[in-house]
Amino acid sequence: MADILPTIQKYVDINGVAQAAADQFVELAATAIAQRGRFSVALSGGSTPPALFRLLVTDAYLPRVDWNSVHLFWGDERCVPPDHPDSNYRMTQETLLSHVTLPAPNIHRILGEIEPQDAAAEYERLLHEFFSATPGQPAPSVHFDLVFLGMGNDGHTLSLFPGSEAVRKEVAYEQNRWVVANYAEKLKSWRVTLTTRPVNAAANVIFLVAGANKAQTLQRVLQGPHQPGQLPAQLIAPTNGRLSWMVDQAAAALL
């Protein structure tokens, strides 16, 4: 389990969650850039991040970030081309990237248009190079400054779905990869996803959860028994970093 207990922050609605997340983004970016000259953040797909991204490009936030020093990554991606409606990259492009001046080399997308196993291997190589890590070794002290995560109704996070091969390996402590291709049986589709290794090495991990349809699962993840095989979100336990849950009142109704 994490050395530092997670914090649970409740907000009125999804807009409150987005504003709190935007505030954290700006604060953590300023600190990381001042200390190391760059800010590395892994973004999430799902329904909540677009509200965050749209807020970040407003006049209230956009000028407060040194975007030339921001490096964007993705926690997971659907195995589709980058212009496909289901692409996490496309969603980010439409809501964030098209509104900021970000150097092209600072955008590190998962190649969802190539074979899943090849895309996973390529993204892992990219991460090892960026963080100067040795393949096969534990995540280094140099890590993501921030990872945004979502949580599905079934308790999945990233593309780590209950009962999937990647989750079985995580639960059995057999997972030594940073990025894997994972088949989502209920969706009949392949995904490419970070594993818990780089996520749990991050300095800050923030779950963004909104909606009444998440309430029961959120209660089970945070207050129920530890069943990571059934609730993969429970696998997220940063070793030395900070874990925060930013949730709206509807999602937090049973807490």
Q: Where are the domains of the chain?
A: 7-248
In this prediction, residues 51-55 reach a mean pLDDT of: 97
CA–CA separation, 251 vs 255, rounded Å?
9
In this prediction, residues 55-72 reach a mean pLDDT of: 98
Residues 172-216 pLDDT 10s: 998 889 999 999 988 889 999 999 999 999 999 999 999 999 999
Show Cβ contacts of residue 27 under 8 Å, excluding neighbours closer than 6 positions.
none
Residues 97-133 pLDDT 10s: 999 999 999 999 999 999 999 999 999 999 999 998 6
* The pLDDT of residue 141 is above 90: no
Angular region, 236: left φ>0, alpha ψ -120 to 50, beta rest: beta
Bridge partners (DSSP) listed for residue 147 = 42, 205
**Model confidence at 5, in pLDDT bands (50, 70, 90)?**
confident
In this prediction, residues 30-54 reach a mean pLDDT of: 95
CA distance readout (Å), 211 to 149, 152, 207, 249: 15, 11, 13, 8
Angle (deg, nearest 10), helices 14-36 and 49-56: 60
Task: Among 3.40.980.10, 3.40.50.1360, 3.40.50.2300, 3.50.50.60, name the CATH number for the domain at 7-248.
Answer: 3.40.50.1360
Locate tokens 């280094």: which residue?
Answer: 140
Comparing CA positions, the residue from 171, 255, 163, 249 lying closest to residue 218 is 255
pLDDT value at position 185?
87
pLDDT value at position 127?
95
* The pLDDT of residue 2 is above 60: no
168: amino acid identity, one letter: R
A 10 A CB-CB count for 176 gives: 12
Q: Do the bridges between strand 76-78 and strand 7-11 make them parallel or antiparallel, or are there none, so unpaired?
A: unpaired
In this prediction, residues 1-10 reach a mean pLDDT of: 75
**Model confidence at 137, in pLDDT bands (50, 70, 90)?**
low
Q: Is the dihedral of CA 243, 145, 177, 47 positive or negative?
A: positive
* The pLDDT of residue 150 is above 70: yes
pLDDT value at position 1?
40
In this prediction, residues 63-92 reach a mean pLDDT of: 97
pLDDT value at position 232?
98
The torsion defined by the Cα of 130, 132, 136 and 137, in degrees rounded to 10, comes to -130
* The pLDDT of residue 138 is above 80: no
* The pLDDT of residue 140 is above 80: no
